[in-house]
Structure 1
Amino acid sequence: MDTVVVYESLWGNTAAIAQAIARGFGNGAVALTTDKATPSVVARARLLIVGAPVHAMNLPTDASRTSAMSKVYGRPGLHADVSHPSIRDWLEAVPPADRQFAAFETGIRGPLGHGAARAITSRLTALGHTPIEEPRTFTVALVTGSAEPAALLIGGQEEKAVQWGEHLATVMAASRAKDSPHRP
């Protein structure tokens, strides 16, 4: 796995975006939950694309995840999936390395809908990883009457994620071409 999209998703929104990014990237990119993106998987990746939902202008915390468990959307009821470790905890286990990465978040419109990708970027940069692109935000609504996973995603966000995945693949291809020895 050359490219791994790692995500935390409580309501399926960030998962849908991660999967769309992996589809857009192509070339065997995979979207994995935090428990599947083990240190050995990360060690084999050339590019990490890491995403999480925005909670209180930052990464989800244990307290915000617990709060999310009390919310139910639609009927018969969509409950928060907290069965995987948080991105916050996953980032604590990422070893230092010189690896390329990109960060994304799912959040509401406006200033309160940002902060998770910035926290991901800060942590990975501190570990020696190199960002290849500015972080991206994919927009979600505050409420939905639907019990379907990813129901909070605003229309068109998955398509934007596919396009961003395609763009990241182009950036990585250009980087590989630049790093390859030139042959006459």
Structure 2
Amino acid sequence: MSTLVVHESMWGNTRAVAEAVAARLGDDATIVEVGQAPVPLPADVDLLVVGGPTHAFSMSRSSTREDAVVKGAEPGHTARGIREWLGELPESDHVDVATFDTRVDKVRHLPGSAAKAAGKEVRRHHLGRLVSTESFYVGDMAGPLLDGELDRAAAWADTLSSRPVTR
């Protein structure tokens, strides 16, 4: 089984979660920043894990990424986010997909998240079978991740690796 972990990260928090997930999934997991993510997916990918930050209750847009850079986020990530990348992928019936996001803890109970929006795109455009969606929490817009979130990410990865393969 081959796993591809694709992440979009403005402050490094989503990248840290993606790294924790990929590390737990083992040697068959490849991690890549969304700007370098392949289109189409390699034929041997059985599990696709997609993660991004929640901006304005959804996946980021060019304008929200540009705004994050103005507020101090890492530059160079404004052109392509997970929204655009998912829009480039062809239909697939052979891959399981898991989505995650990072979001500010203070708005934990408000509707909307990048993970849920990405999951809707997966279903709407027949990009694979959505198997899981998860949110991980940061203390403020720039982070840091709350205590225990990387451990939760590793535990989530365990649930992904123990799922039955549907190929």
The TM-score with structure 2 as length reference comes to 0.87
Which residue of 2 is the match for residue 94 of structure 1? Answer: 89
Unpaired runs of at least 5, structure 1: 73-77, 145-150, 180-184
Which residue of 2 is the match for residue 132 of structure 1? Answer: 131
Give the paired residue count.
163
| Matched-pair contact (CA < 8 Å) for 1:11–1:80 | no
> Are residues 161 and 101 of structure 1, via their aligned partners in 2, closer, same or farther at CA, if it must alter by over 3 Å?
same
Which residue of 2 is the match for residue 16 of structure 1? Answer: 16
SS in 1 for 2:87: helix
Structure 1 residue 80, shift from structure 2 partner: 4.6
| Matched-pair contact (CA < 8 Å) for 1:107–1:114 | no
User: Larger Rg: 1 or 2?
Assistant: 1
> Are residues 9 and 84 of structure 1, via their aligned partners in 2, closer, same or farther at CA, if it must alter by over 3 Å?
farther
Q: Please list, as runs of the form range in 1=range in 2, the aligned pairs for 1:62-81 lying within 5 A after superposition.
A: 62-72=62-72, 79-81=74-76
**2-structure distance, mates of 1:83, 1:42:** 25
Which structure carries more strand by proportion?
A: 2
The 4+ residue runs of structure 1 with deviation greater than 6 A are none
Q: What is the Cα-based RMSD across aligned positions, in Å?
A: 2.1
> Which 10-residue stretch deviates more, 41-50 or 156-165?
41-50
Unpaired runs of at least 5, structure 2: none
1:165 matched to 2:157? The reply is: yes
Structure 1 residue 118, shift from structure 2 partner: 1.0
Q: Could you give the per-residue CA deviations for residues 90-129 of structure 1, whole angstroms, max 9, x where no partner exists?
A: 1111110112111100001223474211111011112221
SS in 2 for 1:121: helix
**1-structure distance, mates of 2:124, 2:49:** 16
Which residue of 2 is the match for residue 75 of structure 1? Answer: none
**2-structure distance, mates of 1:36, 1:113:** 30
Which residue of 2 is the match for residue 148 of structure 1? Answer: none
> Are residues 13 and 113 of structure 1, via their aligned partners in 2, closer, same or farther at CA, if it must alter by over 3 Å?
farther
The TM-score with structure 1 as length reference comes to 0.80
| Matched-pair contact (CA < 8 Å) for 2:6–2:34 | yes
Structure 1 residue 83, shift from structure 2 partner: 5.7
**2-structure distance, mates of 1:116, 1:87:** 9
> Are residues 161 and 70 of structure 1, via their aligned partners in 2, closer, same or farther at CA, if it must alter by over 3 Å?
same
Which residue of 2 is the match for residue 108 of structure 1? Answer: 104
**Aligned AA (1:94):** L
SS in 2 for 1:132: strand
Structure 1 residue 62, shift from structure 2 partner: 1.1
**2-structure distance, mates of 1:124, 1:41:** 13
> Are residues 20 and 81 of structure 1, via their aligned partners in 2, closer, same or farther at CA, if it must alter by over 3 Å?
farther
**2-structure distance, mates of 1:31, 1:57:** 25
